[in-house]
Structure 1
Amino acid sequence: MPRFTLFALTLTCLSISSTLVSARPSSYAVWAADSAIKRGQGNGLDSSGKASVSYEHGELQWGLRLLFERTGNQTYYNYIQKGAENIVFPNGTVHGNYKLSDFSLDPVRTGPTFLYLLSKTGETKYRTAADTFRTQLNGHPRTAQGQFWHKLRYPNQGWLDGIYMGDVFYAQYTKDLQPTNASAWADINNQFNLMFQNTLQNSTVPNSAGLLYHGYDFSKTTVWASADRGHSPEVWDRALGWFMMALVDVLDIIGPTPPAAQQQLQTSLLQILRTLAPRVKAAADKDSGVWWLVISQPGRSENYFESSGSAMFVYSLLKAVRRGYVSDSDGSIVAAMKKAYEYMANNWVVANSDGTMGWTNTVQVGSLDGAGDFNYYVGVPTDLNDLKGLAAFLLASLEYETLS
Structure 2
Amino acid sequence: MKIACLLVSLLLSVCIQAQQNRTPWSNKMVESHGLVDFYCNTHHQDMLGTTGWDYVSGLVANAVLKAWEAYPEKTAYYQAVKDFADFSLDEDGSFIKDPEGKSALRPSNIDDYPAGRIYFTLYKEELRKGNTKDANRYRTAATLIRNTLKYHHSRIAPGLPGSGGFFHKAIYPDQMWLDGLYMGSPIYAEWQHYFSDTTSAANQQQSWDDITCQFKTIHQYTYNAEAQLNYHAWSANPTDANSFWANRNAPFLGASKEFWGRGMGWYFAALADVLEYLPKTHKDYAAVLKIYHQVAEGLSKRQDKASGVWYQLLAYNAATRADGKGDKVAGKTFNVGTQPNYLEASCSAIFTYAYLKGIRLGLLDSKKYLPVAAKAYDGLLKTFIREKENKTDIIQICASAGLGPAKDPSRTGTINYYLAGKDVTITQNEGKAIGTFIMASVEYENYLKRK
Where is the strand percentage greater, Structure 1 or Structure 2? 2
- Cα deviations by residue, 1:48-99 (Å, 9 ceiling, x for unpaired): 8875211112222222222222211222211111110111122321001544
Note the C-alpha offset of 1:32. 1.0
Match of 2:123, SS state, is helix
CA distance in 2, matches of 1:389, 1:51: 17
CA distance in 1, matches of 2:143, 2:377: 38
1:248 to 246, 269, 272: 272
Match of 1:358, SS state, is strand
CA distance in 2, matches of 1:230, 1:290: 30
- Cα deviations by residue, 1:237-258 (Å, 9 ceiling, x for unpaired): 001001111111112234xxx3
CA contact (8 A) 2:37 2:46 kept: no
Letter in 2 for 1:186: D
CA contact (8 A) 2:181 2:270 kept: yes
**Paired residue for 2:166?**
148
Q: Which runs of 4+ in 1 moved over 6 A?
A: none
CA contact (8 A) 1:291 1:310 kept: yes
Which sections of structure 1, spanning at least 5 residues, go unmatched? 1-23
CA distance in 1, matches of 2:263, 2:220: 15
- Cα deviations by residue, 1:261-282 (Å, 9 ceiling, x for unpaired): xx23432321111122121111
**Paired residue for 1:139?**
152
Match of 2:265, SS state, is helix
Note the C-alpha offset of 1:46. 6.6
CA distance in 2, matches of 1:89, 1:46: 25
Question: What is the count of residue pairs matched by the alignment?
Answer: 367
**Paired residue for 1:32?**
29
Of 151-160 and 30-39, more deviation after overlay is shown by 30-39
**Paired residue for 1:307?**
345
- Going from structure 1 to structure 2, the CA distance change for 1:61 and 1:267 (only over 3 Å counts) comes to farther
- Going from structure 1 to structure 2, the CA distance change for 1:259 and 1:119 (only over 3 Å counts) comes to farther
1:220 to 226, 232, 238: 238
CA distance in 1, matches of 2:225, 2:280: 35
**Paired residue for 1:348?**
384
- Going from structure 1 to structure 2, the CA distance change for 1:80 and 1:41 (only over 3 Å counts) comes to farther
Note the C-alpha offset of 1:47. 3.6
Match of 1:292, SS state, is coil
- Cα deviations by residue, 1:307-337 (Å, 9 ceiling, x for unpaired): 1000111111122122210113xx3421122
Which sections of structure 2, spanning at least 5 residues, go unmatched? 1-20, 127-131, 158-162, 322-339, 405-410
User: Taking every aligned residue pair, what percent have the same amino acid on both sides?
Assistant: 28
Counting only pairs closer than 5 Å after superposition, residues 21-60 of structure 1 correspond to structure 2 as 25-41=22-38, 47=45, 52-60=52-60
Please give the root-mean-square deviation of Cα atoms over the aligned residues, in Å: 2.2
CA distance in 2, matches of 1:271, 1:165: 21
Q: TM-score, normalised by structure 2?
A: 0.77
Match of 1:231, SS state, is coil
CA distance in 1, matches of 2:317, 2:39: 32
Match of 1:149, SS state, is coil
Q: TM-score, normalised by structure 1?
A: 0.85
- Alignment partner of 1:199 is 2:222: yes
CA distance in 1, matches of 2:353, 2:292: 13
Of 287-296 and 31-40, more deviation after overlay is shown by 31-40
CA contact (8 A) 2:104 2:112 kept: no
2:314 to 287, 295, 314: 295
**Paired residue for 1:65?**
65
- Going from structure 1 to structure 2, the CA distance change for 1:62 and 1:99 (only over 3 Å counts) comes to closer
CA distance in 1, matches of 2:312, 2:114: 23
Match of 1:264, SS state, is coil
**Paired residue for 2:97?**
95
**Paired residue for 2:86?**
85
- Going from structure 1 to structure 2, the CA distance change for 1:286 and 1:85 (only over 3 Å counts) comes to same
